[in-house]
Amino acid sequence: MIRYCKICGHKTLKIFNKRSGSIYHSCKACDYIFKDEHFILPAEKEFQVYENHNNSIYDPKYVKYFKKFIHSAVLKYCNGKYGLDFGSGPSPVLAMILERDYGFNMDIYDLFYSPKAVYQGKKYDLITSTEVVEHLKDPLFYFKTFKDCLKKDGLLSIMTLFHPKDYEDFLDWFYIRDMSHISFYTLKTMETIGKKNGLKVIYSDSERYVSFK
């Protein structure tokens, strides 16, 4: 059965992972790779994966990890201090750092841990989403949501590890071993998503950070 790209609509190629038995679909037009629906975890098992995460604002390495993102992909490009951290996780460390150390006023949303859609009807100077978009089944829907919640000069900053383009490298990539990861991108994918939603890429390190206006 032919699968079409969820981002750009082109036909995809099937990738079979012998190690896990999973199937992925790869788009040569925009580089998007997504896991076949039959291999996506049900919500309760996905939640169990998140429960194994142990992230804390008292962990200096974890704080440093976020501060690198903030200094690279946020502060240089953001013109206001009202923000939303989308997919904040069990402990909203990024939002806490932005408030404590940089004077932001942050809302948080998370499907499992802060499920109230506080962003509805609001406009933000900044939206961050770190280690989240790889979990999304329908990225275009969420990027449209991000766009709709941004002020005219608002900033969207994303963190997700870009996939290797070689299929053998992809199948050996540690990032796909997390069974809750179902969507994989490159900068080209992000640029395509941006064009679909009226967002322009203004910064990327071509590895894991990308910022839109």
pLDDT tens-place string over residues 94-141: 999 999 999 999 999 999 999 999 999 999 999 999 999 999 999 999
Q: What is the pLDDT of residue 54?
A: 67
Token representation of residue 76: 């240089």
Q: What is the pLDDT of residue 50?
A: 79
The answer to whether domain 13-212 has CATH 3.40.50.150 is yes
In the chain, domain spans: 13-212
Scored b (16 or more CB within 10 A) or e, 114-140 reads: beeeebeeeebbbbbbbbbbbbbeebe
pTM: 0.95
pLDDT tens-place string over residues 64-95: 999 999 999 999 999 999 999 999 988 899 99
Residue 26 one-letter amino acid: S
Sheet holding 23-26, edge to edge: 13-16, 23-26, 33-35, 183-184
Q: What is the pLDDT of residue 213?
A: 97
